[in-house]
């Protein structure tokens, strides 16, 4: 019987390229998370088309991993579930011996996929032994978690390693010292005063890349009758690491700020849900993009849309490889005092307006009282009062109905 052909809307072109000396089938890989903590799950992900996976963070044998449940919670927004996802998970309960086995199996069964391990330790000898043991498995890359939102293992538990410039540099040096062969990426947190200083510390250590960035520490909600925070563990809770669409703008800024200032490779993670989010991460400096929450929500099959969307985008933009996207937006980022000062005014396309008056209300109570009701609920912009702030454009439910025009 003939093999069933993929419908052309899902067709993909060659998306492969090299990054960090590793061949990637496409720019999409799985981030360290529950989806990469089980051999069979990673096998299914690879068969579905993911280019690679960072196996969930592991540690040396004997490290206590004391999980509590339930660990997940949701930040729902206006009817959308998991706009932000919270977790109080820790690193994997599987120690390095299990991860060594998993890497070996995956490299044997899927030699063309990128298999990386994520590690965390407290002492120098443990960091180095994790790296040395992994090197022998044929692992393609090692990611070091310096940014678990529940804190670090070792001398300063509760605090993230990447919140200290000196500890970041010292620990990254230990890790790099332990291997000449395997590229090392340090996974950092955006919870710092100056992300560029952290990136510079990693660069000085000799490590190859940064993974930017981990989840955002968050309090996911409070039950207003019992006053129990989320997730509710018998009335008690703690701060979660928040992931998913809600954190995408924070990640974009973090990647961009590193890429503008430090010459180091970047793996983007934190809030990417579709191919166009990945394009944005790459346009500000990411070489590949890691996904977690969207996969936990919708499954490994989202890779079909990621690959197809990226293929069509590359065709449309006449780019020959996903690599062509990297850093494309950086020349357009400027400091506030370098921005053009122009006179702009709101313009409402009356043919598209549905008369909902959302722009009128927003402008009256949050703008410059420049939008009047007009006749038949079709609003008018008072050109004298309008300063062109742009609020009306963003509250309008109709795409392209309101735009900002540069005044003559
Ligand atoms: C339940 C859960 C467990 C996670 N465990 C780890 C981990 O062990 N190590 C790590 O570096 N990141 C871990 N992460 C963070 C993810 O790797 C990823 O950086 C984060 O979810 C942001 O990406 P996203 O918005 O695509 O989910 C975890 C995330 C979730 C949701």
> Where are any strands of DSSP class E within 196-255?
209-212, 216-218, 240-243
Secondary structure tally for the chain: helices H, strands E: 11, 18
The pLDDT assigned to 322 comes to 98
% pLDDT > 70, the chain: 98
* Res. 4 pLDDT band, cuts 50 70 90: low
Average pLDDT over residues 275-293: 98
Rounded distance from Cα 69 to ligand 1 centre (Å): 17
- In 3D, which of 35, 37, 58 has the Cα closest to residue 48? 35
Q: Does the Cβ of 214 fall within 6 Å of ligand 1?
A: yes
Q: Does the Cβ of 270 fall within 6 Å of ligand 1?
A: yes
The residues spanned by each domain of the chain are 8-332, 340-406
| pLDDT beyond 70 at 364 | yes
For 340-406, which CATH class?
alpha beta
- In 3D, which of 246, 309, 323 has the Cα closest to residue 274? 309
* Phi, then psi, of 71 in degrees rounded to 5: -115, -10
- Reported as a single tens digit per residue, the pLDDT across 97-108 is 999 999 999 999
| Contact between residue 15 and residue 28 where contact means Cβ atoms under 8 Å apart | no
- Reported as a single tens digit per residue, the pLDDT across 11-21 is 789 999 999 99
Average pLDDT over residues 56-80: 96
| pLDDT beyond 90 at 292 | yes
| pLDDT beyond 80 at 408 | no
- Asked whether the domain spanning 340-406 has the same topology as the one spanning 8-332, the reply is no
Poorest-pLDDT segment among 7-21, 31-45, 184-198: 7-21
The pLDDT assigned to 203 comes to 98
- Angle (nearest 5°) at CA 91 between 89 and 95: 140
Question: Ligand 1, from 280, 292, 293: best to mutate by most atoms within 8 Å of Cβ?
Answer: 292
Q: Does the Cβ of 162 fall within 6 Å of ligand 1?
A: no
Mean confidence (pLDDT) of the chain: 95
- Reported as a single tens digit per residue, the pLDDT across 326-335 is 999 999 999 9
- In this prediction the pTM is 0.96
CA separation for the pair 385, 382 (Å, rounded):
6
* Res. 158 pLDDT band, cuts 50 70 90: confident
CA separation for the pair 162, 189 (Å, rounded):
6
| pLDDT beyond 90 at 318 | yes
Average pLDDT over residues 296-323: 97
Kindly report the CATH number that applies to the domain delimited by 8-332. 3.20.20.70
The pLDDT assigned to 6 comes to 54
Average pLDDT over residues 271-279: 98
Q: If you search the block for the tokens 């579930």, which residue do you land on?
A: 81
| Contact between residue 99 and residue 115 where contact means Cβ atoms under 8 Å apart | no
| pLDDT beyond 60 at 316 | yes
Identify the helix (H) or strand (E) that includes residue 304.
Answer: helix 302-317
More confident: 278 or 12: 278
* Res. 153 pLDDT band, cuts 50 70 90: confident
Rounded distance from Cα 241 to ligand 1 centre (Å): 8
CA distances from 317 to 13, 55, 321, 328 (A): 14, 33, 10, 12
Q: If you search the block for the tokens 């509590």, which residue do you land on?
A: 68
- Angle (nearest 5°) at CA 314 between 309 and 319: 165
| Residues β-bridged to residue 363 | none
Relative to the CA of 248, which ligand 1 atom is closest? 25
Q: Does the Cβ of 32 fall within 6 Å of ligand 1?
A: yes
Q: In 10 A of CB 399, how many CB atoms? A: 7
Q: Does the Cβ of 291 fall within 6 Å of ligand 1?
A: yes
The pLDDT assigned to 5 comes to 56
| pLDDT beyond 70 at 185 | yes
- In 3D, which of 352, 9, 113, 86 has the Cα closest to residue 244? 86
| pLDDT beyond 80 at 156 | no
Q: Edge-to-edge strands of the sheet including 72-77?
A: 72-77, 80-87, 240-243, 216-218
| pLDDT beyond 80 at 66 | yes
The pLDDT assigned to 1 comes to 47
| pLDDT beyond 70 at 7 | no
| pLDDT beyond 60 at 181 | yes
Question: Ligand 1, from 27, 28, 29, 32: best to mutate by most atoms within 8 Å of Cβ?
Answer: 32
- Reported as a single tens digit per residue, the pLDDT across 220-251 is 999 999 999 999 999 999 999 999 999 999 99
Q: If you search the block for the tokens 């025009």, which residue do you land on?
A: 405
């Amino acid at each position: 019987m003939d093999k069933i052909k993929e419908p052309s809307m899902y067709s993909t072109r060659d998306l492969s390229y090299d990054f960090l000396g590793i061949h990637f089938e496409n720019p999409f890989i799985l981030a360290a998370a529950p989806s990469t903590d089980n051999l069979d799950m990673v096998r299914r992900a690879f068969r579905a088309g993911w280019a690679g996976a960072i196996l969930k963070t592991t540690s040396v044998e004997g490290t206590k991993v004391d999980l509590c449940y339930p660990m997940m919670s949701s930040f729902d927004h206006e009817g959308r579930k998991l706009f932000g996802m919270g977790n109080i998970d820790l690193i994997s309960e599987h120690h390095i011996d299990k991860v060594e086995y998993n890497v070996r199996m995956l490299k044997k069964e899927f030699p063309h996929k990128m298999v990386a391990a994520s590690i965390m330790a407290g002492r120098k000898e443990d960091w180095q032994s994790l790296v040395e043991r992994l090197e022998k498995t044929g692992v393609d890359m090692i990611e070091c978690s310096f940014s678990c939102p529940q804190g670090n293992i070792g001398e300063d538990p509760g605090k993230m390693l990447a919140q200290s410039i000196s500890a970041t540099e010292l620990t990254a040096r230990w890790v790099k010292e332990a291997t000449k062969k395997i590229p090392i990426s340090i996974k950092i947190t955006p919870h710092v005063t100056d992300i560029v200083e952290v990136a510079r510390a990693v660069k000085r250590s000799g490590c190859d890349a940064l993974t930017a960035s981990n989840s955002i520490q968050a309090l996911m909600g409070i039950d207003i009758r019992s006053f129990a925070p989320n997730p509710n563990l018998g009335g008690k809770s703690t701060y979660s690491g928040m992931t998913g669409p809600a954190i995408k703008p924070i990640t974009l800024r973090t990647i961009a700020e590193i890429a503008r200032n430090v010459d180091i490779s970047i793996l983007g993670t934190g809030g990417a849900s579709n191919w166009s989010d990945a394009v944005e991460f790459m346009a500000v400096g990411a070489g590949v993009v890691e996904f977690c929450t969207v996969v936990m929500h919708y499954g490994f099959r989202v890779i079909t849309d990621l690959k197809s969307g990226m293929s069509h985008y590359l065709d449309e933009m006449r780019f020959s490889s996903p690599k062509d996207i990297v850093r494309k937006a950086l020349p357009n980022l400027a400091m506030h005092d370098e921005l053009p000062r122009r006179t702009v005014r709101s313009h409402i396309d009356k043919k598209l307006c549905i008369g909902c008056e959302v722009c009128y209300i927003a402008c009256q109570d949050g703008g410059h009282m420049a939008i009047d009701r007009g006749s038949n609920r079709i609003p008018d912009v008072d050109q004298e009062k309008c300063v062109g702030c742009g609020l009306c454009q963003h509250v309008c439910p109709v795409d392209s109905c309101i735009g900002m025009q540069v005044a003559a």
